[in-house]
Structure 1
Amino acid sequence: MIKSLSISLPLLASFLTFSQAANAGDSSHYIGGTLGYGFHEFETEKYGQASFSDSVTFDLYYRHMVNDNFGIEVGGMSGSGGAFSILSDIWNDVKGLSYRGLRTTAYARLPLGISNSLYAKAGTAYQWVDYNVRQDKETVSVSETDNGFYGAIGWEFRFRNGLALNAEYQHVPMSNLTLRSYNFGINYPF
């Protein structure tokens, strides 16, 4: 019994792995995420600005492909201060800036070969922005919302099992907050 189980489990695992690899290209549903580093500029009429600061960014998304080259994505993104934010907080009125929000985009890809492709994303972003401001010797915490354009361009390499690695540049200019980041990510069909 144990011997047949020890033979059956590896065979079952191999079958599931190869059947998933065979069907990975047929799926129109993808889940993915990116991690990156970039810069943000923020300005508000009431409290001032954080004109040059850095941030660590995170993006998690779901993509539905309408056909082989076009799809729709919905996702969430967030970011907060990086290494240089400590220095920029000294000179700027706005300190400790962080953001989190939602985005929806159209997705288009240009295949360069079987495994390689270039892609672009364009849509809208809605962010909740939190920061601190020093006023009259007191620190005031402020929360605001912001919305605007979301855009990204990138390169993707997809393995036979469906797993893909990508590198992209994101540009998100909104009313008060502008984000620019370089991200590395992963996505997988299901």
Structure 2
Amino acid sequence: MLKPVFTWLTLAVPALTFSQFVGADESRHYIGGTLGYGFHDFETKEHGTANFSDSITADIYYRYMVNDNFGVEVGGMSGSGGAFSIFSDIWHDVKSLSYRGVRTSAYGKLPLSASNSLYAKAGATHQWIDYDITQDKDRLGVSETDSGFYGAIGWEFRFNNGLGLNAEYQYVPMSNLTLKSYNVGVNYAF
């Protein structure tokens, strides 16, 4: 019972903390998303492993900029097996792994020029994980939850019309599932 409460508090703390510092003359809102390709390691004590399997990832988010360089993001992310998961499913007990969940993070950027910047995100995530296992010649569907750190580093190019393009590396280590992906995305300031 404490784990879900802890997870939601962990997700809410960055948003509540940064909301106290709002004082910028101009608040900015962004919506965006990324698509990517990466790898995941999964291990559960009850049902086995799916180590070093690939996945296609997706991430959507809303960002509120507290000032020119710092903001807060909330979003959702999901992923499922990639091209090599077919081979991974042959060797591992866990098959057809997919995940979806929510995340929140603090966002900071370092401008390199008027259009280019480097950025980093750090926060927390809570994921719902679905997979199949074979027990006694029967294939069973299993659903679990997992929580942990969410982190990303990347580069962004902004156009004058509010559109931004970005490339980032996401690292999400949780207790049972670890995600590592390379994503490209687009966002829009409004």
TM category (shorter chain) comes to 0.7 to 0.9
Amino acid at match of 2:167: A
Tell me the residue number matched to 1:97: 97
Does 2:160 match 1:160? yes
Query: Partners in 2 of 1:70 and 1:146 — Cα distance?
Result: 28
Aligned residues: 165
Q: Which segments of 5 or more consecutive residues in structure 2 lack a partner in the other structure? A: 1-25
Query: Partners in 2 of 1:38 and 1:52 — Cα distance?
Result: 10
Does 2:149 match 1:149? yes
Choose 1 or 2 for highest CA Rg: 1
Q: How does 1:70-109 map to 2 (within 5 A)?
A: 70-109=70-109
Amino acid at match of 1:165: L
Query: Partners in 1 of 2:163 and 2:32 — Cα distance?
Result: 10
Structure 1 residue 100: Cα displacement: 0.1
Contact 2:42 2:49 in 1 (8 A): yes
Query: Partners in 2 of 1:42 and 1:158 — Cα distance?
Result: 36
Contact 1:27 1:189 in 2 (8 A): no
TM-score by length of structure 1 reads: 0.86
Tell me the residue number matched to 1:62: 62
Does 2:51 match 1:51? yes
Tell me the residue number matched to 1:32: 32
Query: Partners in 2 of 1:123 and 1:148 — Cα distance?
Result: 9
Q: Deviations over 1:113-159 (max 9, x none)?
A: 00000000000000000000000000010000000000000000001
Query: Partners in 1 of 2:139 and 2:113 — Cα distance?
Result: 55
Contact 2:55 2:85 in 1 (8 A): yes
Q: How does 1:119-134 map to 2 (within 5 A)?
A: 119-134=119-134
Query: Partners in 2 of 1:124 and 1:97 — Cα distance?
Result: 21
**Cα RMSD after superposing both structures:** 0.7
Query: Partners in 2 of 1:141 and 1:62 — Cα distance?
Result: 32
Q: 1:161 to 1:27 in 2, by over 3 A?
A: farther
Helix, strand or coil for the counterpart of 1:68?
coil
Q: Deviations over 1:79-120 (max 9, x none)?
A: 000000000000000000000000000000000000000000
Contact 2:27 2:66 in 1 (8 A): no
Tell me the residue number matched to 1:118: 118
Tell me the residue number matched to 1:135: 135
Identity rate of aligned residues, in percent?
75
